[in-house]
Amino acid sequence: MRFYFHIVDRYGLSPDGTGCEHADQDAAVLHAQCIAAELAKAGELCRFSVVLLAAVPGPSSHPDQGATAPSAKA
């Protein structure tokens, strides 16, 4: 399934136009947490950033899975 990792901060939304393929939602959440950790390293500049994780259902997705997943805060 393709997941998109949008960044939201005090300046607005920075959309992820490419996304990444992950085997499941758990793998995508781990990736979002890594992105949030990297943003946190930027200090004050990215202190209020949030990583929004969005999934796009496709042929490989399970029908019971929703279109969105939890977000990770930086």
Tell me the per-residue pLDDT of 19-49, one tens digit each, with 9 for 90 and over: 999 999 999 999 999 998 888 887 766 667 8
- Measured CA to CA, the distance from residue 56 to residue 49 in angstroms comes to 22
Contact by Cβ (8 Å): 21, 2:
yes
pTM assigned to the model: 0.69
Contact by Cβ (8 Å): 69, 55:
yes
Contact by Cβ (8 Å): 14, 7:
yes
- Measured CA to CA, the distance from residue 74 to residue 67 in angstroms comes to 22
* Average pLDDT rounded to a whole number, residues 13-19: 93
Residue given tokens 């998109």 in the structure block: 4
What per-residue confidence (pLDDT) applies to 74? 52
